[in-house]
């Protein structure tokens, strides 16, 4: 019985000991686990404090030096705390009263224990550890890295504001160190510091938990996965609630919309996106078409202006807005058109003419008289060029042998070479004339009757034949071929046949026998046909050019009333009457208008009355691009009322310039001369009262 009790008692003691050992091990494990958790919590709180200080410093420094020009690192250490006193019972086995009853080491079997007594235990008191979990800031170490590019004042201000903020923690707890470095190097250092802090935290965690690397990673990974799982579940729950709430709201909205009858605007709003896209496309299309239209207008106007410029360049030799004599302008134009080779050839031929005059002056005088009375254009050009290529002494010697009428005719030709005759034709004609004068010399009479005949024009020579047909053989054989051709065109048929028949036989004796009678007849014809002239009469063509359209009318009428028919015909063909300007065809008027600059043309239109303007616009072509450009130019000028007033006051001068340009264009264009002559001849017959025969027989 006693043995049984002892056996049971030993088993009970063993059980109690095992339980206490397990409890003690569990307590130690819990203590270590608690220490690890507290270490982790303390580390998190320290990092939170560091982030807060770093954030406050950044907000303080940005207004001073700007973002990106500094880096702040903060390291906070925890204030060491004293451990609070306490007690923890450590129950240990007491010494058995009976030393033989040691049942723990298993040295003695229970059956050998004689007396069993309950084991007695004593309780030893140990210190109880109570940890204060409140985090207290110990030391704060702040490293301030400033960009080296900052000014000294900015760096000083940055250190001052940093020190002011850190002073709130106590000067004994704060250590501030500033550095001046390049920004990219600072970023690398900050990354290294962050890596160092992370490694330090991991090392402390491993040390606090007394875990090896593998256990720590598993624990951290598990904790992270658990946290992510909880967050994912929470997020899914929130999303599910949000979707549910959204479906309920959509359902309620659909029910409320369904209960309201849709209006046409509501139906249209369903297609607002397609309608908006279509409207935008239409607007862009309209803008594109408008831009294209404007560009096309601009391009067309540019082309018209370029054509205007080209036409103005071509008409520089025709139109000069100066008060210089137009004859001189034409002379310069012809000279400028000659090449160096042509000038050299002309010099050579006129040098031959000078040598001819030196050898036999009468031959040169005879040629000049023939050229004066000739209708050929080459003759007119030679007379115009002769004073410029022949020495003036020889020219004066020739002029000395000319009568007053021949001098006047030559003076009208000098300085006005025909622009439509090339220098090559002039050179060839001059060469042939001089060669013929040498090979077939002109018959010369001692009484001067031949010289009198050479001074007659074709009309006067024909009158000599009419008065005495016997003189036909002398006139037709003495005068040059060109002048004879003009005479034959004037004579009647019977007179022509008789004169041609008698001219087949001619000798010098005929000239001697008819000398005195021929001179008397020629002088009588000159007295009857040639009208009395005066210096004023010779000045009338130039006066008509100078006085302008408003005054030239009376000058033409004076010539008509004085029965100076030949003079009137000659002047009217040389100086186109301004009152006939609108009798010309639209083609000629358009060519004249096109020679004017666009601005001058618009000013002319504004200065004249509406009738003239409308007529000119009709000539340019109503609705044409040129007319549109003219309209735009006129509107630009009319926007300035003062400018319009000045143009209206200057209407006379503007019209005078236009008439002057028209005369130059007519004189320079052979193609329009025939139509212009028809208009002038009709005016001479109908308005001036000159007989048509006189007009038609007059040499242009």
Task: Give one DSSP letter per residue of 364-409, joined into a string.
Answer: HHHHHHHHHH---HHHHHHHHHHHHHS-HHHHHHHHHTS-HHHHHH
pLDDT (mean) for 137-142: 79
- For 178, the 3-state DSSP assignment is strand
Q: How confident is the model at residue 160 (pLDDT cuts 50, 70, 90)?
A: confident
pLDDT (mean) for 370-390: 81
Q: What is the dihedral of CA 392, 398, 400, 401, to 10 degrees?
A: 180
Pair (578, 509) in one structural domain: no
- Domain of 656 in residue numbering reads as 549-697
Summarised one tens digit per residue, pLDDT across range 544-555 is 777 778 778 888
Q: How confident is the model at residue 85 (pLDDT cuts 50, 70, 90)?
A: very low
Q: What's residue 110's pLDDT?
A: 43
Long-range contacts of 519-523 (CB under 8 A, 24+ apart): 519/447, 519/448, 519/449, 519/452, 521/464, 521/467, 521/468, 521/471, 522/449, 522/452, 522/453, 522/456, 522/464, 523/452
Pair (470, 619) in one structural domain: no
Pair (230, 123) in one structural domain: no
More confident residue, 696 or 517: 517
Contact assessment for residue 78 and residue 42, using Cβ atoms and an 8 Å cutoff = yes
Of 209, 228, 248, the one marking the end of a domain is 209
Q: Find all residues with CB under 8 Å of 689, minimum gap 6, and list them.
A: 560
Residue appearing with tokens 């996965």: 225
More confident residue, 87 or 418: 418
User: Is the pLDDT assigned to residue 582 strictly greater than 80?
Assistant: yes
Of 530, 559, 575, the one marking the end of a domain is 530
Q: Is 297 inside a domain boundary?
A: no
Percent of the chain clearing pLDDT 90 (strictly above) = 0
Q: How confident is the model at residue 87 (pLDDT cuts 50, 70, 90)?
A: very low
Please list the residues that pair with 478 across neighbouring strands.
Answer: none
Q: Is 311 inside a domain boundary?
A: no
Q: What's residue 485's pLDDT?
A: 77
More confident residue, 499 or 249: 249
More confident residue, 117 or 629: 629
Q: What's residue 14's pLDDT?
A: 55
Q: What's residue 174's pLDDT?
A: 78
Q: Is 299 inside a domain boundary?
A: no
Report the relative pairing of strands 87-93 and 121-127 from DSSP bridges. antiparallel
User: Is the pLDDT assigned to residue 457 strictly greater than 50?
Assistant: yes
Contact assessment for residue 405 and residue 532, using Cβ atoms and an 8 Å cutoff = no
Contact assessment for residue 679 and residue 583, using Cβ atoms and an 8 Å cutoff = yes
Pair (27, 82) in one structural domain: yes
Q: Is 275 inside a domain boundary?
A: no
Q: Is 647 inside a domain boundary?
A: yes
Pair (639, 603) in one structural domain: yes
Cα distance between residue 79 and residue 138, in whole Å = 4
Q: Token pair for residue 427?
A: 């050179």
Q: How confident is the model at residue 41 (pLDDT cuts 50, 70, 90)?
A: low
Pair (495, 576) in one structural domain: no
Contact assessment for residue 521 and residue 464, using Cβ atoms and an 8 Å cutoff = yes
Pair (613, 479) in one structural domain: no
Pair (588, 653) in one structural domain: yes
pLDDT (mean) for 126-155: 69
Q: Is 334 inside a domain boundary?
A: no
Summarised one tens digit per residue, pLDDT across range 278-334 is 888 889 888 888 887 777 777 666 666 666 655 555 455 444 433 434 443 344 344
Pair (566, 523) in one structural domain: no
CA angle 202, 204, 206 (to 5 degrees): 70
Cα distance between residue 97 and residue 111, in whole Å = 18
More confident residue, 583 or 333: 583
Summarised one tens digit per residue, pLDDT across range 413-449 is 775 555 556 788 888 888 887 887 766 665 555 556 6
Total structural domains within the chain: 4
User: Is the pLDDT assigned to residue 146 strictly greater than 70?
Assistant: yes
Q: Token pair for residue 683?
A: 């005016």
Pair (35, 155) in one structural domain: yes
Q: What's residue 111's pLDDT?
A: 47
Q: What's residue 18's pLDDT?
A: 59
Q: Is 202 inside a domain boundary?
A: yes
Pair (639, 515) in one structural domain: no
Percent of the chain clearing pLDDT 70 (strictly above) = 67
User: Is the pLDDT assigned to residue 595 strictly greater than 80?
Assistant: yes
pLDDT (mean) for 463-482: 78
Q: How confident is the model at residue 1 (pLDDT cuts 50, 70, 90)?
A: very low
CATH number at residue 646: 1.10.220
More confident residue, 550 or 510: 550
Q: Helix-strand-coil percent breakdown of the chain, rounded to 5?
A: 70, 5, 20
Pair (62, 14) in one structural domain: yes
Q: Is 391 inside a domain boundary?
A: no
């Amino acid at each position: 019985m006693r043995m049984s009790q002892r056996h049971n008692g030993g088993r009970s003691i063993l059980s109690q000991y095992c339980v206490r050992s397990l409890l003690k091990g569990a307590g130690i494990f819990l203590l270590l686990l608690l220490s690890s958790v507290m270490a982790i919590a303390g580390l998190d709180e320290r990092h939170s404090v560091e982030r807060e200080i770093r954030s406050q410093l950044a907000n303080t420094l940005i207004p001073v030096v700007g973002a990106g020009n500094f880096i702040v690192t903060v390291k906070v250490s925890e204030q060491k705390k004293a451990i609070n006193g306490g007690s923890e019972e450590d129950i240990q086995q007491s010494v058995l009263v009976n030393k033989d009853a040691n049942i723990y080491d298993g040295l003695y079997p229970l059956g050998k224990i004689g007396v069993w007594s309950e084991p007695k235990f004593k309780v030893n008191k140990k210190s109880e550890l109570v940890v204060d979990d409140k985090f207290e800031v110990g030391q704060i170490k702040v490293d301030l890295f400033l960009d080296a590019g900052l000014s000294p004042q900015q760096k000083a201000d940055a250190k001052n504001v940093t020190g002011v903020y850190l002073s709130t923690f106590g000067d004994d707890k704060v250590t501030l160190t500033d550095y001046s470095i390049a920004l990219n190097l600072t970023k690398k250092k900050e990354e290294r510091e962050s890596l160092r802090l992370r490694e330090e935290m991991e090392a402390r965690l491993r040390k606090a938990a007394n875990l090896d690397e593998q256990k720590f990673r598993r624990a951290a990974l598990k904790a992270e996965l658990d946290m992510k799982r909880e967050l994912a579940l929470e997020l899914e729950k929130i999303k599910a609630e949000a979707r549910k709430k959204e479906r309920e709201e959509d359902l309620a909205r659909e029910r409320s919309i369904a209960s309201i009858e849709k209006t046409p605007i509501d139906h249209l709003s369903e297609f607002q996106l397609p309608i908006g896209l279509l409207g935008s496309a239409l607007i862009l299309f309209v803008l594109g078409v408008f831009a294209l239209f404007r560009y096309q207008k601009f391009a067309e106007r540019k082309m018209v202006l370029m054509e205007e410029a080209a036409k103005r360049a071509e008409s520089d030799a025709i139109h000069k807005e100066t008060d210089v004599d137009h004859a001189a302008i034409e002379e310069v134009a012809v000279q400028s058109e000659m090449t160096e080779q042509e000038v050299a050839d002309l010099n050579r031929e006129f040098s031959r003419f000078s040598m001819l005059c030196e050898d036999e002056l009468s031959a040169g005088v005879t040629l000049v008289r023939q050229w004066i009375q000739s209708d050929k254009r080459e003759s007119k050009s030679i007379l115009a060029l002769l004073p410029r290529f022949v020495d003036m002494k020889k020219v004066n010697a020739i002029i000395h042998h000319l009568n007053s009428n021949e001098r006047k005719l030559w003076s009208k030709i000098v300085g006005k070479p025909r622009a439509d005759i090339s220098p090559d034709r002039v050179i060839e004609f001059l060469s042939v004339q001089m060669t013929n004068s040498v090979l077939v010399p002109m018959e010369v009479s001692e009484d001067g009757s031949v010289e009198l005949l050479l001074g007659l024009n074709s009309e006067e020579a024909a009158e000599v034949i009419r008065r005495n047909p016997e003189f036909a053989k002398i006139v037709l054989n003495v005068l040059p071929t060109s002048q004879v051709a003009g005479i034959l065109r004037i004579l009647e048929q019977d007179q022509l046949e008789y004169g041609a028949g008698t001219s087949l036989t001619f000798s010098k004796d005929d000239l001697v026998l008819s000398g005195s009678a021929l001179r008397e007849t020629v002088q009588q014809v000159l007295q009857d046909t040639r009208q009395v002239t005066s210096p004023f009469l010779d000045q009338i063509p130039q006066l008509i050019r100078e006085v302008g359209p408003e005054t030239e009318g009376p000058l033409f009428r004076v010539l008509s009333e004085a029965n100076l028919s030949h003079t009137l015909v000659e002047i009217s063909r040389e100086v186109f009457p301004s009152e006939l300007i609108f009798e010309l065809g639209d083609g000629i008027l358009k060519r004249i208008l096109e020679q004017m600059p666009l601005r001058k043309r618009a000013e002319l239109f504004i200065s004249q009355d509406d009738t003239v303007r409308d007529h000119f616009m009709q000539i340019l072509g109503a609705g044409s691009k040129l007319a549109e450009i003219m309209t735009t130019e006129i509107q630009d000028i009319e926007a300035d009322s003062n400018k319009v007033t000045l143009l209206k006051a200057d209407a006379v001068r503007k019209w005078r310039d236009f008439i002057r340009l028209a005369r130059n264009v007519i004189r320079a264009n052979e193609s329009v001369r025939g139509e212009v002559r028809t208009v002038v001849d009709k005016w001479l017959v109908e308005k001036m009262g000159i007989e048509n025969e006189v007009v038609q027989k007059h040499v242009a």
